[in-house]
Structure 1
Amino acid sequence: MISGGHDLVLKMAHQHDRLEAVIFTPTDWHLLRKCPSPVWMVKDQPWPEGGKALVAVNLASEEPYHNALNEKLVKETIELAEQVNHTEVHLVGAYPVTPINIAIELPEFDPSVYNDAIRGQHLLAMKALRQKFGINENMTHVEKGLPEEVIPDLAEHLQAGIMWFWARSDAPVFQQHSSATRRNR
Structure 2
Amino acid sequence: MTNQEASYQQAVERLQLLIDTATSQGVQEPHAAALATADRYAHPSVRMVYVVAVEEAGLLFFVNMESGKGQQLLDNPRAALCFFWRELQEQVTLEGDIQMQSIEVADEYWRKRSRAAQLAAWAFPQGAAAPDKAELRQQVRQLEQTLGFEAVPRSPNWCALRLLPERIEFWPSGWQRVRERTRYLKGEDGHWTVEALTP
* Coarse TM-score class (shorter-chain normalised): under 0.3
Structure-2-length-normalised TM-score: 0.26
Whose Rg is larger? 2
Would you tell me which structure has more helix in proportion to its own residues?
A: 1
* Higher RCO (C-alpha 8 Å, min separation 6): 1
